[in-house]
Amino acid sequence: MTQQPPVLDYNRPAAKSPPNLRRIFYCLGLPLIGFVLGYDLDHRGDAEIMGAAMAVGCFLVSFALPVGE
């Protein structure tokens, strides 16, 4: 008797929240975290600019993250 190779199961369990709602949380939460980290890490006096730059970067990264739609 030959063994069959393992098969990956890509069926995901039912999501508890709608995918669009999770995408909104990513698009709002990550820039807020990025702004706070950028604002806190910059000690040269341009904290608002650094925080805004990191927030924009996190906003763009949030579109690339897989959400499981």
Burial 15-50 (b: 16+ CB within 10 A, else e): eeeeeeebbeebbeebbeebbeebbeebeeeeeeeb
pTM: 0.61
Provide the pLDDT for residue 23.
79
Q: What is the number of alpha carbons within 13 Å of residue 16 lying toward its C-beta?
A: 0
The DSSP result for 16-60, as a single string, is: SS-HHHHHHHHHHHHHHHHHHHHHHH--SS-HHHHHHHHHHHHHH
Question: What is the arithmetic mean of pLDDT over 62-69?
Answer: 74
Tens digit of each residue's pLDDT (9 = 90 or more) over 19-54 = 678 778 888 888 998 888 888 876 777 888 888 888
Provide the pLDDT for residue 68.
63
